[in-house]
Amino acid sequence: MGERERGNVEKRCLVDFLEHYKCVKLFPGQENAQIIREVEVDKVSSLSRDQVAAIKQLWLDPGIQECYDRRREYQLSDSAKYYLTDIDRIAMPSFVPTQQDVLRVRVPTTGIIEYPFDLENIIFRMVDVGGQRSERRKWIHCFESVTSIIFLVALSEYDQVLAECDNENRMEESKALFKTIITYPWFLNSSVILFLNKKDLLEEKIMYSHLISYFPEYTGPKQDVKAAKDFILKLYQDQNPDKEKVIYSHFTCATDTENIRFVFAAVKDTILQLNLREFNLV
């Protein structure tokens, strides 16, 4: 799905939420909403002038903005604001996606996908697996001899619910999955690398959505980014029953290429050192 289709999907999601939950008593944008509803997303390769105008007017609508502020209550991409506020550029006939445009597109992983890549003359084979409940049964027994596990946590999901179950917290589910994985017999000899991702979104969200509202055990101050990061890191570290096993953790922002380059250099060194140690070479 490209950026143009993505903008339509995000807007339709907001419109549906507004009408279902009645964010405001008066929604003057019905005509614009209907224009968006009639778009066949899978067939879109360009946006008409009317569609662009409808998206822009809807995005400015107070009801839509109220729904956006309540996005934790439904399933909306983290990049919705990025695409919708830049719809003029994206809708241009000459539009070519920037690196940042591409990085912000999220495509859920289904099944098992392998990515071999060369990192400074060392070949790594990264196997990407879906974390959704429906995906786990496809891969959880397939990795008896992996060198390392990289587990991704979305820091910004502390106040969000699962797509599969709207009364279960995403971070609680992630935490439970993390414990399951690191205690599986297949993974006892694998190093564990924890990526605490979306630190940029956490820094924004923690200013208005308080951690204690979702994790009563949090005792730190409100609107304190460092305290929130430390608390979430400890949540995951506490899932490790083997105190001899080190969990290597990194706070990341996947859309920040410099940050990711630095983190992967550290990960490469970690994996190499662990491999050398396994063969008694250090």
Q: Residue 269: how many CB atoms within 10 A of its CB? A: 10
| Annotated binding-site residue numbers | 78-79, 103-109, 128-132, 197-200, 254
| Annotated binding-site residue numbers for GTP | 78-79, 103-109, 128-132, 197-200, 254
Q: Which two tokens stand for residue 124?
A: 């790594």
Share of the chain above pLDDT 70, in %: 81
Q: Give the whole-angstrom CA distance, residue 45 versus residue 87.
A: 14
Q: Residue 250: what are its φ and ψ, rounded to 5°?
A: -140, 135
Q: What is the pLDDT of residue 121?
A: 76
Q: Where in the chain is the domain with CATH 1.10.400.10?
A: 3-104
Closest by CA to 156, choosing from 170, 145, 144, 142, is 170
Is the distance from CB of 127 to CB of 147 less than 8 angstroms?
no
Q: Which two tokens stand for residue 251?
A: 């706070």
Domain 3-104: give its CATH code: 1.10.400.10
Q: Where in the chain is the domain with CATH 3.40.50.300?
A: 143-279
Model confidence, pTM: 0.77
Q: What is the SS3 assignment for 112?
A: strand
pLDDT in tens, 263-278: 888 888 877 777 666 6
Q: What is the pLDDT of residue 279?
A: 54
pLDDT in tens, 170-186: 999 999 999 988 998 88
**pLDDT confidence of 20, banded at 50, 70, 90?**
very low
Q: Residue 106: how many CB atoms within 10 A of its CB? A: 12
**pLDDT confidence of 19, banded at 50, 70, 90?**
very low
Q: Give the whole-angstrom CA distance, residue 137 versus residue 207.
A: 37
Instruction: Using the structure block, give the residue that is written with the tokens 């060369």.
Output: 118
Q: Give the whole-angstrom CA distance, residue 125 versus residue 111.
A: 16
Instruction: Using the structure block, give the residue that is written with the tokens 């205690």.
Output: 183
**pLDDT confidence of 224, banded at 50, 70, 90?**
very high
Q: Which is more confident, 8 or 107?
A: 107
Q: What is the SS3 assignment for 2?
A: coil
Provide Rg for the chain, Cα atoms: 21
Domain 143-279: give its CATH code: 3.40.50.300
| Annotated binding-site residue numbers for Mg(2+) | 109
pLDDT in tens, 84-143: 888 899 888 888 889 888 888 877 777 778 888 777 777 778 888 766 666 666 676 667
**Mean pLDDT of the residues in the chain:** 81
CB neighbours of 26 closer than 8 A, spacing ≥ 6? 63
Q: Give the whole-angstrom CA distance, residue 151 versus residue 279.
A: 25
Q: Give the whole-angstrom CA distance, residue 181 versus residue 174.
A: 11
